[in-house]
Amino acid sequence: MGVTQACGALRRPLSDGSKADLGELYEWSGYSLWTESNANLADGETTRSNGITMRNTKKPFAFAILWMCALAAPSFAQQPERVFNWLPGNQEDVRLDPANYHAGTTYHASGDGGNMQVDIKSELPVTIFLVHAEEWNGALQHPETLNNLQQLCTREHIVEARYSCFVPPVAMTLIIRDERYSTESSEHAVFSGLGAVLDRSNRVERAVGVGITGIEAVVAGRESAKRQFKAPNDVHIQYFRWLCVENCVQPEFRWTWQVKEKYQLTSFLKVYGGFTPDHDGSQVSIKIKSPVPMVVAMLPSEIANQLHAKPEMFEPALEKNPCQQRGVQSLEFQCTFNLADGPQSLIVAPEATDRVPHKKAEIEMQFVKCIENCELLQSKR
């Protein structure tokens, strides 16, 4: 398969005639996935939204084909690429006693996983890591297993730092642990308790309590007296989201049927009009299936409309036309047009007009059309 064929296969419309959404092509550079939990957003909203950027691990061959296609043909509408960056999301202020744990956001990455990022600022050193959410929930029920947690991206002795980690495609919970030694409990080496989120309106089971009993009290709504800390360590957590910051709203395109029919072959030229490119790099896909060799071409409508009355114009019109196929019986091909090309018409005819069988030929044509945010195309002309 050559480069042109491979690229055509990537851009080809659906064979069953359904519309293929080409807006997804703009997402090849990456996409984002947000996690949600009950906490306060930095901007005052009530839904937590933290970003994960996804890693794309396609096979090298697929990357090579995409790269060759980028060189071989212009992208749809040649729009500037979206630009993404880390932006502040929700934040938490947490108070810890010695050896306390705090469970932050649980990330749910799909596909091959993605990156997360938070800023940590603590009065006293803490350890930060990710752990499987299921494993963490099990450890809360059985605190003696906390020392055996399988930690990911562990960082110790943190006072102020930006913490990041690649999150696998499973639910992973962010854990912060106060590094100080606790002597208040015989189980201090295993589990001393949970920290408290300073926003008391946030009544989530992972946010506040002293051990398992404290969690149960919060969930049941039975928490009464304000917790007293022996040696508080205040920790600020700033979550970040991976968001589009430039060129975020772009036109969206879709394959649209223009011609799809079986017609009785004759010696006369068949002309289909009605296609006008609405952006530079507009693509047209043409498919022909015929019992005899055919000529298939896209010509400017002003020329195509004269060919019946002036058949002598036919061959000269094709001489400099790049979008044509001669002597074909079964073929699908694509052509690209710009705004300056103006209205175009599809023409088909048997190559030999003196021996035309009483049979039918199948002809299909689709083109890429802007279907949303099309006013942006007008503003850039």
Query: What integer best gives the mean pLDDT of the chain?
Result: 76
Cα gap 83→86, rounded to integer Å: 11
The CA-to-CA distance between both ends of the chain, in Å, stands at: 36
Express each pLDDT in 122-147 by its tens digit: 999 999 999 999 999 999 888 888 88
What is the rounded average pLDDT of the residues 206-226? 40
Express each pLDDT in 83-93 by its tens digit: 999 999 999 99
pLDDT attached to residue 320: 82
What is the rounded average pLDDT of the residues 157-180? 95
What is the rounded average pLDDT of the residues 68-92? 68
Higher-confidence residue: 70 or 278?
Answer: 278
As given in the structure block, the two tokens for residue 28 are 């090849």
* Residues 271-293: b if buried by 16+ CB within 10 A, e if exposed: bbeebebbbbbbbbbbbbbbeee
Higher-confidence residue: 16 or 38?
Answer: 16
pLDDT attached to residue 349: 94
Main-chain dihedrals φ then ψ at residue 42, nearest 5 degrees: -65, -30
**Whether residue 261 has pLDDT greater than 60:** yes
Query: CB of 327 within 8 A of CB of 367?
Result: no
pLDDT attached to residue 373: 86
Express each pLDDT in 282-330 by its tens digit: 999 999 999 999 999 999 999 999 998 898 999 999 988 899 999 999 9
What is the rounded average pLDDT of the residues 190-215? 51
Cα gap 8→4, rounded to integer Å: 6
pLDDT attached to residue 184: 58
CA dihedral 210, 216, 219, 223 (to 10 degrees): -60
**Whether residue 187 has pLDDT greater than 90:** no
- The model carries a pTM of 0.54
**Whether residue 45 has pLDDT greater than 90:** no
